[in-house]
Structure 1
Amino acid sequence: MPTLPPEPPEPHRARQLAESFGTDPQRYDRARPGYPDALVARIVAGSPGPRVLDVGCGTGIAARQFQAAGCTVLGVEPDARMAAFARGRGLPVEVARFEHWEPAGRTFDAVIAAQSWHWVDPVAGAAQAARVLRPSGRLTIFGHVFEPPAEVAEPFAAAYRRLVPDAPFAAGPARRPLETYRAGYAQVAARLRETGRFGEPEEWLFDSERTYTRDEWLALLPTTGGLTRLPADRTAEILGAVGAAVDALGGRFTMRLTTLAVTAVGIDTMRPFGPA
């Protein structure tokens, strides 16, 4: 979740960070928001059937929404702790990195990656998605843009830089414009286009507003990449600075919550890779 400064280059190579979100799966599942119903409906309507593969399913937040929409969902998740939690909520999950996962001949009508594709090798991940999609199956990669107001973002960034000055997350600005995120999704679309295994990608945007109380925001922050591996005392100090900032706003704030997506339909997905 790009809540604050940008992630390190090639985040899929940072495996300790990529697999650090299962530290507290209960908090993660409770604090992270779901995805727009309109996004789920659009993916379901644009797929040839109900079989969905959820890449990096985490605790199953997105998967449960697709189950509620009538889909049969299988999760693939590299963190066994997250997988165990998702199974406890009724989602079948296989523990593996998506690039190394063995589908055993299974195919799917839709492959989704909710807030997870940046932890997947973009070349190997696209090839794997093409491999497991049925003809005319749809790959959709999506995630939220979290940019709290400057009155909240700047105290966080200041505390983070002071306490974790060498971290990759400390290098960027406190807030980034939406166009920065859109550029990132455009790069994902370009990578899919380069594979020759998908039709022309589409880029979707869903806008809403969300109000967070102090406690809700402080519950969410430790589930983000910048904090999942910090010692408890540093996390507490950062949360203290942010909590004071939210208190100064009356104990709550409203922010724009944008969900971005890139989606593409597979072409000749059953054709073997390489020359005929």
Structure 2
Amino acid sequence: MPTLPREEPQPPTAKSHTARRMAESFGVDAQRYDQARPGYPDALVARIVAGSPGTDVLDVGCGTGIAARQFQAAGCATLGVEPDARMADVARARGLEVDVAAFEAWQSDGRTFDTVIAAQSWHWVDPVAGAVKAARVLRPGGRLAIFGHVYEPPAEVAEPFAAAYRRAAPDSPLGGQPARRPLDLYRAGYAKFADTIRETGQFDAPEQWRFDWERSYTRDQWLDLLPTTGGLTRLRPDQLAGILDAVGSAIDSLGGHFTMSYTTLATTAVRVGTGGGGGA
């Protein structure tokens, strides 16, 4: 998810899960998050469902339930696990069952699932403990699917954003990042997810999937989404206003709208063995 400091302020790393203040900042405006954030490619959801032995889905770090609702629409029974009660409340209001807990501490109480998904959230989970726990709660043949968006606004939007962010938050470590970063950095992050999955010895060889798509944004739509991203959720109102003004002016210069190129990456693997543990 590159150009912007957001929930993946840099390509996912093994240490992202320790940044708890950032991880817990997205619930500041959970309703806006739910309304502004994009969903996931229908082809991705269909491929995960088709490659799973049944319809029971556990959504790790479900947030407001954006991905979970897509799986429900595909005929799945979905349970969310979400550490932020504010996000969980929005998901419940939209019809999702949610347990409020960090995945590493969540108690399954013997429940097992055909699919475990993590949409834009696995970098907030301890990668080793998370992979082991996913294996424990998956049924034989069940699928773990970790996925998220990489997106790059055009340079005419990205460069003014980066400059405005540096002015507004000069002491932020995110301010020193380049405006645009190569997709290969993010693919490497998903490859690291695959490594930790492989190291459990509980899964078949992980696969890497990729889906490319586009979405058009008006000025107002993009300025509604920006405050939900990780680099902005913790800024003061005056800092945020300066950034939004700069980005809004940049979009105005493009005629009031632009097209975003998205890539959705996924790391996925099938559980092997004679059965899940069903424990904590």
Q: Does 2:92 align with 1:92?
A: no
Which amino acid counterpart does residue 149 of structure 2 have in structure 1? H
Q: Quote the Cα distance in structure 2 between the aligned partners of 1:125 and 1:271.
A: 14
Q: Quote the Cα distance in structure 2 between the aligned partners of 1:211 and 1:233.
A: 28
* TM-score normalised by the chain length of structure 2: 0.94
Q: Which residue in the other structure is 1:4 paired with? A: 4
Q: Does 2:175 align with 1:209?
A: no
Q: How far is 1:49 from its partner?
A: 0.4
Q: Quote the Cα distance in structure 2 between the aligned partners of 1:165 and 1:47.
A: 47
Q: Quote the Cα distance in structure 1 between the aligned partners of 2:38 and 2:277.
A: 38
Q: Quote the Cα distance in structure 1 between the aligned partners of 2:65 and 2:94.
A: 8
Moved more, 261-270 or 224-233: 261-270
Q: Quote the Cα distance in structure 1 between the aligned partners of 2:228 and 2:102.
A: 20
Equivalent in 29, 32, 57 of residue 34 of structure 2:
29
Residues 128 and 213 of structure 1: is their aligned pair in 2 closer, same or farther, counting only changes over 3 Å?
A: same
* TM-score normalised by the chain length of structure 1: 0.95
Deviations 1:165-222 (A, max 9, x none): 2222112110112112111111111121122111101000111111111111111111
Q: How far is 1:134 from its partner?
A: 0.4
Q: Which residue in the other structure is 1:136 paired with? A: 141
Moved more, 9-18 or 197-206: 9-18
Q: Quote the Cα distance in structure 2 between the aligned partners of 1:208 and 1:272.
A: 38
Equivalent in 83, 88, 102 of residue 83 of structure 1:
88
The number of equivalent residue pairs is 273
Residues 210 and 271 of structure 1: is their aligned pair in 2 closer, same or farther, counting only changes over 3 Å?
A: closer
Q: Which residue in the other structure is 1:43 paired with? A: 48
The answer to whether the Cα contact below 8 Å between 1:189 and 1:201 also exists between their aligned partners in 2 is yes
Q: How far is 1:36 from its partner?
A: 0.6
Deviations 1:129-171 (A, max 9, x none): 0110001100000011111011101111111112212222112
The answer to whether the Cα contact below 8 Å between 2:57 and 2:76 also exists between their aligned partners in 1 is yes
Identity %: 73
Unaligned runs of 5+ in 2: none
The answer to whether the Cα contact below 8 Å between 2:91 and 2:98 also exists between their aligned partners in 1 is yes
Moved more, 189-198 or 55-64: 189-198
Superposed CA RMSD: 1.5
